[in-house]
Structure 1
């Protein structure tokens, strides 16, 4: 792409979905202008204009054209800057599997992970079990490879890495050890953090925990 391309990312620092896009852009070495949305104080007119359907971040604005929904944005980034660090497999079946498990993260892992700090009592215990059961399923997809993408970090790794920065928060609110339950998954996260673009893009786990604690106090949980 031309150096004159204008790339803007509408984002919100703690968002796992925004982090995905930041990781993909960093993996490709794409420079962009980040615009932080203060979602606690209302949504900007730019966000409402660029994503009038869902009115959510992240939104990637490429030469004035908006792309919405994190996994779609990551795939878009991979296609546009395809000459740099491919993320999705070229094999159609492997590509379909990567997309399937990324969708599993959004539909099956994310909802119960949120309940670890929003639910109480029996619902909290049920969410804890669901969360651990589901990340164990996901862990199985690592097989004997160092990454979900096989020998190199790819699309599915980027889809789940933002959750790795919340592992400390999940453990603190859920009163369990992810390393005890899913040692391969924790080893995978540590391996990914050895990549400079990953360690630069992921928020510190303790910062994420502090933000969640602040949020729960604010909403009275």
Structure 2
């Protein structure tokens, strides 16, 4: 019990330190990468403090602490107003990859939506034709127009007039999307509806791209 109580108290101390740091960053108006602070904190936990006779913690425990806190460096983009798509598509979110290229190999991506289709279908077996996808708009393109790489994120619930919150799969560092990025490209999120009569009614789209925190990355 003493061990668990000690771990719980340590988690609270670290959590308070993280929240305090984030509050200071938001109040001074300056941009900062909070991961730099987390790395320093993780290193201090692992090395201990001889002056206060605090021993260093095992690496596995430090990793567990930051996993528990769900520490990550995120870019989150949201749509600003509801919209509808009729037999076509709409680019709702675009993220410039120059913000991402230094972290390739560690990035994750996920699209979340609040949406519904037209609320009815004449043939439920004919497919679901409202969906959301992720694609790369390539800055370098030929005279034929921009080349894109597309991956479906998820579909609306079929024949539902009720707005539903849905999440697509996480695109982890092994996803092919990351291998195609170049300077000047944009990662975009798009709402789609195909064929007359199909409607994609979107209340909100949210695209999150994040780099998980690895407390062992810099030793």
TM-score normalised per structure 2: 0.25
Q: Which protein has the bigger helix share? A: 1
TM-score, normalised relative to structure 1: 0.25
Of the two, which has the highest radius of gyration? 2
